[in-house]
Amino acid sequence: MPGDLAVGIHDLSIATTRYVLTHETLAARNGTDIAKYHEGIGQRSMSVPAVDEDIVTMAAAAAAPIIDRHGAEGIRTLFFATESSVDQSKAAGVHVQALLGLPSAVRVVELKQACYAGTAALQSAVGLIHRDPAQRVLVIAADVSKYELDSPGEATQGAAAVAMLVSADPALVRLENPSGVFTADVMDFWRPNYRTTALVEGRDSISAYLRAVEGAWTDYTEQGGRKVNDFDAFCYHQPFTKMARKAHRHLLAFCGYDADDSEISRALRHTTAYNTLVGNSYTVSMYLGLASLLDNAGELSDKAIAFFSYGSGSVAEFFGGTVVPGYRAHLRSGAHRDAISRRVPIDYARYREIHEYEFPDDGGDYPVPIENDGPYRLTGLFGHKRVYETRPARSRNG
């Protein structure tokens, strides 16, 4: 195995939902000062899945442009990261394998650890490629963030998917060693099997996140990582976009630097553009930040990017990457912006109907109406089985 083999993200594609609920609509319903949303948590709207959308349809929509561009040759592994699993046994990625028409000679695994699982999938992919540089790995993260109506977490909801093709000699970002890791057994956010909505201890969650920043950074530096001022941009997990500012301020102070507002803005401003409109997408969040950075920042060739991935409960990782010269030719900036801008606004009554929609558990046949106009849809639940379809004349962004 060559010691200097460059491995990283060769292609990246995002998808989100058919519908969007603005925070103005939510604030008008619950009487909240809109500044609490726009300024307090840094959010302006949230993606809402149609009843015929879920993590599988978003995942397939995100991954299809990658397969269209590169083909499936050499892809022998599909890692699917989510905390919104549609089945306790079968990996959601198996549905995606079928929808994309991938060959049967592919291992498919689902990974879960709150919002951290996308990074676990990415790092696992890097390890496989170091073992066999001819392989490519398809990494998909997809989630729907859902909290109780009228709860403090409601305004942070969102939904999205990101697909990444991981390979040797990547075209977008070369990932670096070392990584700093951190785990602590805390109950800051969780969702028992018997619930469809998550539980969160807000103050505990923020403090657990910040402790993880310290722990992962400490391990990263002990492993011989870069200095904090070596990085040109920072991609943080964003349960709400202002959390990235809290985290970076905390990291700078922990490293002995003044937490200057202008410096924080410089390091983060391009990484939050998509998340502020999509909402919390759990495992997707940090990589949606990466897509936003690559699509919206100025020239980044040879620039170092820091990544902080956090999953409640809690597991965290800090690592770095370098943007590959010529990366702009491989971006999907127009398609990404269109995925966000084309969402259809809904009123609060429709949002509430979707939020409360659940399949009965009696094993009957329950088709769902056609709502989303994407290439893939959930047709319904039939005899306890989720059934998906590919539209014959599907439209893909490539």
Position 178 scores a pLDDT of 98
User: Per the structure block, which two tokens stand in for 104?
Assistant: 């049967």
pLDDT attached to residue 201: 87
pLDDT at 242: 97
Spatial neighbors of 373 by CB under 8 A, at least 6 apart, are 18
Cβ-based burial of 229 (10 A; exposed 0-12, middle 13-18, buried ≥19): exposed
Task: For the chain, state the CA radius of gyration.
Answer: 20
User: Would the pTM of this model clear 0.95, i.e. be above it?
Assistant: yes
Comparing CA positions, the residue from 300, 250, 5 lying closest to residue 131 is: 5
What are the residue numbers of the active site? 83, 115, 237
- In order of their start, the domains of the chain are 7-390 (3.40.47.10)
Write out the chain's pLDDT in tens, 398 residues. 345 899 999 999 999 999 999 999 999 999 999 999 999 999 999 999 999 999 999 999 999 999 999 999 999 999 999 999 999 999 999 999 999 999 999 999 999 999 999 999 999 999 999 999 999 999 999 999 999 999 999 999 999 999 999 999 999 999 999 999 999 999 999 999 999 999 988 788 999 999 999 999 999 999 999 999 999 999 999 999 999 999 999 999 999 998 889 999 999 999 999 999 999 999 999 999 999 999 999 999 999 999 999 999 999 999 999 999 999 999 999 999 999 999 999 999 999 999 999 999 999 999 999 999 999 999 999 999 999 999 876 444 44
For residue 21, count other CB atoms closer than 10 A to its CB: 27
Cβ 155 vs Cβ 31: under 8 Å: no
The reported pLDDT for the residue numbered 202 is 74
Spatial contact of 80 and 110, defined as CB atoms under 8 Å apart: yes
Give 115's DSSP letter: B
Structure tokens at 238: 């964003």
